[in-house]
């Protein structure tokens, strides 16, 4: 199972329209630096500045941790 987690990439669209796949640990930094416009998550594409994004304000999550470590 660890093999698949290590090779998982996230689809992103940079601010210049270029498509790419990145390692999950880079996503937060690219969002904070305003270098990407969209990224794909399990329920579809999230657009920065429009869709709710974890850690970017909004109500805090009170449920159990669901992210893979």
pTM of the model: 0.68
Residue 1 pLDDT class (50, 70, 90 cuts): very low
Which residues are within 8 A (CB) of 45 and not within 5 positions of it... i.e. 6 or more apart?
38, 39
Spell out the domain ranges in the chain: 2-47
Summarised one tens digit per residue, pLDDT across range 26-37 is 999 999 999 999
Phi-psi region of 50 (alpha: psi -120 to 50; beta: other; left: phi over 0): alpha
Tens-digit pLDDT profile for residues 24-63: 999 999 999 999 999 999 889 999 988 887 665 555 656 6
């Amino acid at each position: 199972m660890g093999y698949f987690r290590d090779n998982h990439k996230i689809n992103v669209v940079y601010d210049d329209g270029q498509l790419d796949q990145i390692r999950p640990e880079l996503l937060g930094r690219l969002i904070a630096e305003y270098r990407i416009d969209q990224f794909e998550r399990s329920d579809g594409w999230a657009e920065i500045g429009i869709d709710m994004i974890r850690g970017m304000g909004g109500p805090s999550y009170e449920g159990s941790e669901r992210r893979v470590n």
